[in-house]
Structure 1
Amino acid sequence: MPLPAITAILTPRLTVRPVAGADLDDLLEVNGDDAVTRFLPYKTWQSAEDGRAWLARMEALDATGTSRQLVIERNADGKVVGTVLLFRFDEGSARLELGYVVGRAHWRQGYAAEALLAVCGHAFGQLAVRRIEAEVNPGNAASNALLQSLGFVHEGMFRQRWISKGVATDTNIYGCLAHEWLRGNRAA
């Protein structure tokens, strides 16, 4: 069975929902910033064409049933401020991986924490996921701290795990189990 579709996950300030073509202008602001993409595995977007190519890749990935590309939309004005990717869904192990990004203009406003709290609660609850994993560059202090604040456990570091933008990079591995999430009252 594929990863179930997600229509919308609501929080007090945000709606986390599937990406659409109309989101690309806002996402160009997010992904067109070198400071934002510094730790991401893809190059900074230079044009609307980069966004369309990314969307085509995300739609193809979604069609496999192993991922869902979502956007973080601010309820007050409909502005898309970032993305959340649920991917590498393994039905037999009831696990998936988590990726996310928020535009620099929206940093330090709690949007990532609010969105991830809701998405993880949904994954552990309605989607019946048993384990969520995330990989983070050790140099990305904000992302490492965010995951730990949400109850993810630092499980180790893989040395030179990825080649990103021509450089071999280490990656911190984080995991969170459903029973830990629920025990921590994190069911969003």
Structure 2
Amino acid sequence: MTHFPVLETERLVLRQLTQNDSIEIFQYFSLDEVTKFYDLESFTNIEQAEELIQKWNQRFESNQAIRWGITLKSENKVIGTCGFHGWMKNHYKAEIGYELTPKYWRQGFMTEVIEKVIEYGFNDLGLNRIEAFVEPGNMGSRKVLGKIEFTEEGTLKEHFYWRNRFVDTVIYALLKKDYKVH
């Protein structure tokens, strides 16, 4: 991919993150309620947000991942991110990840975003399988994936090690043949 694709939904614009977005990224990544189920500790300084944006953009440039900043059409302020990592072109699969600032939880924003991102994954990236790994207690994320018709495939016991403990994850997947445009 040579240029970063901009995607639009009814209420949102998904675009490449820039260092100008570091304040918004820092603001919500510094909240424990956002990082509770994330493989990052809550941020304590803005440099962490700047480094994360740089890492996501470098991974895009090297065709390893793509992460969109989620902005409201009414204002160009980042309220979350969504994208693919663990991208295996030769295996036609990727893992989806996302987060949203709590002010916008339970308003259908993430469902709207994920639907657009998976449409792009299947139609433009040539993916056949999109996976999501979710901690069992992350009911918000599990509910969103269920709405979009991801299938729960099972629990991977002690799948990740973070915050000094082993963590189970529930694996969800959506196959291209089962994908229905909403």
Alignment of 1:17-166 (within 5 A): 17-166=15-164
Paired residues of 2:32 and 2:42 also in contact (CA < 8 A): yes
- For the pair 1:16 / 2:14, whether they are aligned, the reply is yes
Displacement of 1:88 in angstroms is 1.4
Point out where structure 2 has 5 or more consecutive residues left out of the alignment. Answer: none
The structure showing larger relative contact order (alpha-carbon pairs under 8 Å, at least 6 residues apart) is 1
TM-score, with length taken from structure 2: 0.94
Paired residues of 2:94 and 2:131 also in contact (CA < 8 A): yes
The alignment covers a number of residue pairs equal to 182
Q: 1:9 to 1:170 in 2, by over 3 A?
A: same
Deviation string 1:60-90 (CA, Å, 9 cap, x unpaired) is 3223311012111111111211001211111
Displacement of 1:4 in angstroms is 6.6
TM-score, with length taken from structure 1: 0.92
Alignment of 1:163-182 (within 5 A): 163-181=161-179
Q: Kindly provide the amino acid, as one letter, of the partner of residue 114 in structure 2.
A: L
What is the SS of the residue equivalent to 1:70? Answer: strand
The Cα RMSD (Å) is: 1.4
Paired residues of 2:83 and 2:117 also in contact (CA < 8 A): no
- Structure 1 consecutive aligned stretches of length 4 or more whose deviation exceeds 3 Å: 3-6
Amino-acid identity (%):
24
Point out where structure 1 has 5 or more consecutive residues left out of the alignment. Answer: none
Displacement of 1:5 in angstroms is 4.7
What is the SS of the residue equivalent to 1:86? Answer: strand
Q: Kindly provide the amino acid, as one letter, of the partner of residue 85 in structure 1.
A: G
